[in-house]
Amino acid sequence: MCGIVGYVGNKENCVRVLIDGLEKLEYRGYDSAGIAFLNNDNIDVVKEKGKIVNLKSKIDLNINSNLGIGHTRWATHGNATKENAHPHKVGAITVVHNGIVENYNELKKDLINKGYVFNSETDTEVVAALIDYIYKKEKDMLKTIQKVKELLTGSYALGIICDDNLDTLYTLKNKSPLIIGVNENENYIASDVPAILDKTRNYIVLEDKDYASIKSDGVKIYHDGKEKDFEVKEFLYDANSVDKQGYEHFMLKEMNEQPEVFKNTTTPYLKNGIDSLIEKMPDFTKYERIRIVACGSATHAGLVGKCMIEKYANVEVMVETASEFRYKKQFLKNDELVIVVSQSGETADTLEALLIAKQNGNDTLGIVNAKGSTIARESKMVLYTEAGQEIAVATTKAYSAQVALLSLIALNLSCKKNLIDKKEMLDILRDVKKLPDYIEELLNRRDEYKKIAEEIKDYNDVFFIGRGVDYALAQEGSLKLKEISYTHSEAYAAGELKHGTISLIEDKTPVIAVITDDDIALKTISNVKEVKSRGANVICITNKNLSNDSNLYDKKIVIPKVNDLFEPLLTVIPLQMIAYELAKLKECSIDKPRNLAKSVTVE
């Protein structure tokens, strides 16, 4: 949540760097935004409610400045107002912050007693006051930050400017992501590399409780009062990934990248058939069961993974929501592998679940998209999804890559345990080659999705039903629809409807039925008949040759039949596209849905 960018240097116009960076980070928060920059020996602060364009209209982009910090906010403490927007300046100190300071109330009371007056409801203004208070005594920013670090609890990535050191940018971080971008005669800070990608590809990842002083000609990183060594990494993603490349939305672009993402994710494991599949993955056969923990769509990917691992590898899999898992009795067994799934690799609840599993002594595997992210670093084993940078808040290509990788784990285990016969393996390898074309063909059927969007646009509720893996996919379809089109929807295990929910079905209520799983399709079809006979407008997404019976459904989208292992990668395409077309029809903010942020770094 929230995006931070900062600049110190002599090469670029700082104000432009800040605004450009914030525009690239806007996917992290867009309630309000602000910048603070050096202007003729003073720090000027400009902030505005709403998106970055509102802020941009208030700023002269030609001001000559070589030091500054900027912030795009996803509100946690206090409403999305101009007063609560960052940066916050108190005395000599100006701060931008991503995270939640949990003990800010106590600190605030203490600082009020010391004479500080607060103008916002934020925890960030309290941090600025605290730094100012300690700095007045210490008169040394590094000693001050070292002390402040001991007083703060919670998560924070901070960009700090001190009026007395106007050639230096300071940072401090704990549990919220922060990188330092390095270049000749200039350096940057940012929540994420895309903010500075057109300036430099070289960056340093800060560890928790690290702090740094950054000048135009050098970076010094400290931990516990001592300077420490650091590694400069190179960002390897394609810079085009942060550009829409002619597509109307990032989401549309990212959905259209799915054929390529499937190839990139599967090829390393399948290029030499079983040999590479065995060689490239850790040995999972020693685990008696697997626990998958994640949030949102990543949990839905986990549910598909569960179906595949249980079916192909005969290993029990439990899937849990990280925000629930972390606060309950976990009952982790010694012989259990904990898999955490995360696109950003920074989701606070997922990270905490991972740390709990580690503390318990379990082996952990991170399925992560963002290279070098906290979850990737903290996991004992990592398998990267090769989805590239994902910008749209609603995940599409990263979800598909997660599903593909979990299916590969199922196949790996199945091969190692000799549970798959040669013929089925050959079928799978044949399908893997065809899948990118099939995905592309499904993506191109926009007219079909538009018609469905037209039909459901005037309804307040949409139901998704399915059984087995189709239920897992229904849950993802429902989440996509509600988050970007703001149409209420629920996903139900098809057999559960008659235990309550079917009372909501009225004349023309849209019901999207997912019917692909051979083992259970007939049962879902009878549930479809139940809703159809109560007036529902049924849209089937199926790989079955359903008879043209108008008593069964109103519309169908037929997807190609492939081996079950990778079928979900086809089924999900119409689900994503229907959500997209509906959101477009309703003129919603598709890439940045209201109230949401891409990287959920608070619990």
Q: How far is the CB of 477 from ligand F6R (least distance, A)?
A: 11
Min separation Cβ 333 and ligand F6R, Å: 25
- Sequential DSSP letters for 498-537: GGTGGGG--TT-EEEEEE--TTTHHHHHHHHHHHHTTT-E
Residue 2 designated active-site: yes
Angle at 35 between CA 29 and CA 38, to 5 degrees: 160
Partner residues linked to 560 by β-bridges: none
| Nearer CB in complex with ligand F6R: 472/505 | 472
Pairing of strands 510-515, 461-466: parallel
Q: How far is the CB of 592 from ligand F6R (least distance, A)?
A: 12
The CB-of-399 to ligand F6R minimum distance in angstroms stands at 7
Distances (CA, A) of 502 to 209, 461, 532: 52, 13, 11
Cα gap 392→590, rounded to integer Å: 8
DSSP 3-state of 468: coil
Nearer to ligand F6R, 125 or 257 (CB): 257
In whole angstroms, the minimum distance from the beta carbon of 591 to ligand F6R comes to 11
How many C-alpha atoms does 48 have within 13 Å on its Cβ side? 12
Among residues 108, 149, 397, 598, which one is catalytic? Answer: 598
DSSP element (H, E) containing 233: strand 233-234
The answer to whether the beta carbons of residues 348 and 326 sit under 8 Å apart is: no
Nearer to ligand F6R, 505 or 572 (CB): 572
DSSP letters for 71-90 = EEE--SSS-S-TTTSSPEEE
Task: Write out the residues near ligand F6R by the rule CB under 6 A.
Answer: 295-298, 342-344, 347, 350, 394-395, 479, 483, 600
Q: Of 420, 430, 404, 466, whose CA–CA distance to 563 is shortest?
A: 430
Shortest CB 307 distance to ligand F6R, Å: 18
Distance CA(211)–CA(142), nearest Å, equals: 8
Give the span between the Cα atoms of 423 and 421, in whole angstroms.
6
Distance CA 125, CA 85 (A): 10
Q: Which is nearer to ligand F6R, 87 or 477 (CB)?
A: 477
Whose Cβ is closer to ligand F6R: residue 162's or residue 370's? 370
CB closer to ligand F6R out of 68 and 302: 302
The catalytic residue among 2, 14, 307, 588 is 2
DSSP H/E element including 378: helix 374-378
Shortest approach of ligand F6R to residue 484 CB, angstroms?
8
Beta carbon of residue 98, minimum distance to ligand F6R (angstroms, whole number)? 15
Which residues, 6 or more positions from 113, have their beta carbon under 8 angstroms from its beta carbon?
none
**Least Å distance between CB 453 and ligand F6R?**
18
Helix (H, G, I), strand (E, B) or coil at 557: strand
**Nearer to ligand F6R by C-beta: 170 or 471?**
471
**CB neighbours (10 Å) of residue 243?**
15
Rounded to whole angstroms, the Cα distance separating 446 from 449 reads 5
Which C-beta is closer to ligand F6R: that of 397 or that of 556?
Answer: 397
Q: CA–CA separation, 135 vs 144, rounded Å?
A: 5
Dist. CA 356–CA 175, nearest whole Å = 15
Of 101 and 298, which has the nearer Cβ to ligand F6R? 298
598 is catalytic: yes
Structure tokens at 16: 């432009």
Q: Do 410 and 313 contact (CB within 8 A), yes or no? A: yes
Ranked by CB distance to ligand F6R, the top (closest) residue is 296
Q: Which residues are tagged catalytic?
A: 2, 598
